[in-house]
Amino acid sequence: MPNNPTDLKITLASASPRRRELLHLTGWAFSVCSSSVSETSRVGETPVQVARRLALSKAQAARAMCSDVAVTLAADTMVVHQQEILGKPADVDAAVSMLQRLRGQSHSVITAVALDTGEHAPDVELCETSVPMREYRQEEIVQYIRGGSPFDKAGAYGIQDPDFHPVELQSFSGCFANVMGLPLCHVVRAFRKLGYEPPEDVPKRCKQFTGYDCTIYPTILRRPL
C-alpha cells in the first residue's frame, strides 16, 4: 500500500521559484532549504555526470543544514549545446552570445533529480530533453535581454517566457517541465520508490500549468522502477 502523502516531510533544496511552482503541482507540502554548492565542473566529467553530482551534493548539503527532514529533493539542470554546458549568462554580451548560438538549432537539457532520505543511498532520476529553438530575430534577442529574464536562466532563456517564446514548440516532443528545471514525472517516479503517490494528478496539473500537451508522460510513469 502507498504511504499517506500527509506523512511525508519534503525539503526542496532549491531557491528557484520555477522549481517551487512546479513542485506545488504535485500537491505535496514542502519546505525550502537551499545551500550554496560550487557548480564548477570537474575535468573529464560529462554533462550527465556533472548534473548527477551537483544534484546529490545539493540534497546532502541541505539535509546537513536543515532539521526535521524526511526527504530532501534537489535538482540540477544543464543546458548543453555541442558538448558545451551553458550556464547562466554573466552579462549582456554572454546572454547575446548564448541566444545567437542556440538560434535555429537543437540542444539538450539534462536534469538530475536526487532524493536523500538519510537512511539509504540517495536515489537519482535523470531526464534529457532535446530542445529545438526557433529562428528568432536579433531585435527579439535585444528586447528579451532588455527585460532581464535571461540572467537567472541556464542558456539565457526560459521555455515558458511568453513574450519571447524561444522554443519551436511545433517540433518539440519532450518534457516541458524538465526544460523549466524540474521534470515532474521523474519526481513522481522517484517518490514511488519510497511508496508515495502524489495527491494530485501530476500530468493533468502540469498540462494546465504549462499549456503544453505532453505525450511522453505515460512512457515515463510506466517505466519499471
> Among the options 76, 116, 163, 201, which is catalytic?
76
Q: How many beta carbons lie within 10 A of that of residue 156, not counting itself?
A: 27
Residue position matching grid coordinates 550527465: 48
Reply yes or no on whether 76 is catalytic: yes
Q: Which amino acid is at 23?
A: L
- Cβ atoms of 115 and 60 within 8 Å: the answer is no
φ, ψ (nearest 5 deg) of residue 62: -70, -40
- The two beta strands, 106-116 and 123-132, are antiparallel
Q: How many beta carbons lie within 10 A of that of residue 3, not counting itself?
A: 12
- Cβ atoms of 61 and 73 within 8 Å: the answer is no
Compute the distance between CA of residue 67 and CA of residue 196 in angstroms, rounded to an integer.
Answer: 21
Kindly list the catalytic residues.
Answer: 76
